[in-house]
A and B are shown apart, each in its own frame.
Chain A
Amino acid sequence: MARTDFGPPHYSTLIPDIIKENYGKWLYHEQIRPGVLKHVSETGAELYTVRVGSPRLASIDFIREICEIADKYSKGHLRFTSRHNIEFLLDDKEMVEPLLEELARRGLPVGGTGHSVSNIVHTQGWVHCHSAATDASGLVKSLMDGLYDYFVENKLPNMVRIAVACCLNMCGAVHCSDIAIVGIHRKPPRIDHEKLHKVCEIPSVIQSCPTGAIKPNPKLKSVEVNPDKCMYCGNCYTVCPAMPIADPENDGVAIFVGGKVSNARTAPKFSRLAIPYLPNNPPRWTETVEAVKHLLEVYAENALPGERYGEWIERIGWERFFKLTGLPFTEKHIDDFIFAPTTFRTTTQFNW
């Protein structure tokens, strides 16, 4: 048996010398151009970071390709960011331009720093998940093609963090993103009564439902779903494969806006519903890409310099957000889940 419980390789064996020498001594940084950062140390050392967008779903050929680049320009060292970008870490300023030229030749985008749209954090989708209501990789590829200029340039009031989750399980930080795209179902699960008692534990299935919509059906040794109470979260499917909820005709995506995780200026915020449903339209998800572009453009035109998406909305008010974006405000936008009262307006202060 192989050894176990030895943990990941120690980071100290993987960081470049310039980082070893200046670990914890960094004094300040500046953005030289979008995608290129310069960090200056107390020792006077300068570290240049070149940030590159990646497809996240990468072949080993791709990984070997970036290794080749790292060997040539950053002494065999590189890192990845929390948003799936690749960072080449250079201790020689003279190597920055040649690296940028090589990256351009290879078609790898440089950007994602400063007031940009960084790479989209996303989930597995149809590529590798069982509960996906939409694909994630295809949606993200289509979005990033559409938002490419926002990645390579700094033309927004502040950074915009976009995330995609292919179902409500949200294995990405979708719910606190400037723009969050979530795969949703719109019909209750179907019940395979023949199979259910063989593969599922009925009490767990009943307990899994956050709205109490599932009750036992002793006659069939199965369960029933009350369609008036079900809000299609799919949690029952997660505990019971005999309750499939995926539906090609009705699944799609919802778009939430104005969330953030940073504590800068204002507290972290949840993203809030802007568009309740757009259809799944592979391979290019045209409606979703257009909607996100529109949401970005309205923000870019109206927000003050330095304002994050949610800070802009907080300043102008949601009523004006819906007016400026032209998005319809519907009953779907009004919360009726357990924390709903915290979102009701308990003041006469609002805009017309």
Chain B
Amino acid sequence: MRSALRWLPGIALLVLLVAGLEWAVNAGMIRRALMPPPSAIGDALWDLLASGDFVEPLFATLRLVFAGFAIGSALGIAAGVAMGWWPAAYRLLEPLVELLRPIPKAALVPALMLFLGIGEAMKITSVALAVFFPVLINTLQGVRGVDRVILDGARTHGWGTAHVLRHLVLPAALPFILAGMRVALGLALVLAVLSEMLSGQGGLGFLILDMQRSFQVRLMYAWLVILAVVGLALNTLFLIAERRALHWQPANRP
């Protein structure tokens, strides 16, 4: 009850904004061709949901996000652990990483299209690339930050390297890894939508662009709302998973 009340002002503001928009459009202050009233967008959204037409594009985009996120995270964690643990791996990969990392991954999509075409492989690769770097950088930082005392404890008890990496370094770096993955999840959605737009097929990104081009502005906004909800849902799910994984942290205890 208390926490519900806490959110009340924020929700009230949201409702107020939507109502204001509705009023402004009806009063002719905003051109309907650019911004239909929210109630009309709501109708379009309802039709999409009721007909089930939203399922296929939604799942197409989600598939991209998940596949690219999983692949990019796995590779990012592996590379981050290797670079953080073995100085030789760090010296080998650091220049390459520093060169590639600053490139906005969106700018690589056209190049990827040359090699991989406009199908799933290109889109998943784009998403995975965007995910890879923030996960790698955070993992690296987490691995380097593992307390020397803990590591020496493992040494004096005779732990082997594999056991240390699996049961000590990974859990110790997990808060960092998860923080990197949370940032990467947002980027994954951006790259999924963008590669759909650029490839001109499949998923929410393509539909948003396509609706705009064919002047079905109401539908464009309806898809946009769905995309917003997807982003919110993904982030919330991730936060829940993160809190579970880090349940041992004092801050996460009731």
> A and B, one complex?
no
